């Protein structure tokens, strides 16, 4: 015995179209069809695009965005978000994956290395190194520190080098040097 079927359309619990299913004719009531749970005899509109899904609110069909199923990356902090069906993709996210192993990057129309942020980070690190070197030499210029006057004068010159270190062009491209290395270069 062959069963008669009729096309129906399956919906998920949120009202989004899942796909086409077959409703089987009832053997006890010819002309009546048994619908799978969540299915309706409601034909959807024929055309919708990628990243769109069909939704029926019980009255009308609507085309809603569908960015579900793949990761999207925040354009500023690179955090990953997975959108759900019907959720709008705002301008803060892109489907383009950020660069691997690169901390300093920004998104324009693609991910690029943010050279300015990278340089600022390097400057911050080198300022800390320079400040540590200044702190290490503080004791040598105290009036009661037992040190020969000529060596004390060298420490004062070295400290001046450290203070003016950040005022030269491209200073962040080389590390500040230790007192011993500075003294040997003099």
Do 33 and 23 form a contact (C-beta atoms < 8 A)?
Answer: yes
3-state secondary structure at position 88 = coil
Beta-bridged to residue 61, according to DSSP, are 56
**CA nearest to 135, candidates 179, 183, 182:** 179
pLDDT the model gives residue 24: 93
pLDDT the model gives residue 108: 87
Dihedral (CA of 166, 171, 172, 178) sign: negative
Ranges of residues in the chain whose predicted pLDDT is under 70: 1
| pTM of the predicted model over 0.85 | no
Q: Where are the domains of the chain?
A: 5-65, 67-112, 115-185
Per-residue pLDDT tens for 56-87?
A: 888 888 888 888 889 999 999 999 999 988 88
Dihedral (CA of 115, 118, 124, 126) sign: negative
Cβ-Cβ contacts under 8 Å for 19 (sequence gap 6 or more) = 9, 10
pLDDT the model gives residue 1: 60
pLDDT the model gives residue 46: 81
Distance CA 15, CA 19 (A): 12
């Amino acid at each position: 015995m062959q069963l008669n079927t009729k096309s129906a359309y399956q919906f998920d619990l949120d009202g989004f179209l899942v796909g086409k299913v077959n409703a089987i004719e009832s053997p006890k009531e010819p002309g009546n069809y048994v619908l799978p749970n969540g299915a309706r005899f409601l034909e959807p509109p024929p055309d919708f695009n990628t990243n769109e899904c069909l939704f029926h609110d019980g009255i009308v069909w609507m085309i809603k965005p569908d960015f579900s199923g793949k990761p999207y990356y925040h354009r500023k902090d690179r955090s990953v978000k997975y959108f759900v069906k019907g959720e709008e993709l705002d301008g803060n996210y892109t489907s383009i994956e950020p660069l691997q192993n690169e901390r300093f990057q920004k998104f324009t129309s693609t991910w690029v290395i943010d050279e300015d942020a990278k340089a600022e980070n390097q400057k911050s690190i080198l300022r800390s190194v320079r400040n540590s070197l200044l702190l290490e030499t503080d004791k040598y210029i105290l009036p009661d520190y037992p040190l020969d006057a000529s060596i004390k004068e060298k420490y004062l010159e070295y400290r001046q080098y450290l203070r003016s270190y950040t005022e030269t062009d491209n200073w962040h491209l080389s590390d500040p040097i230790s007192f011993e290395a500075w003294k040997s270069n003099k």
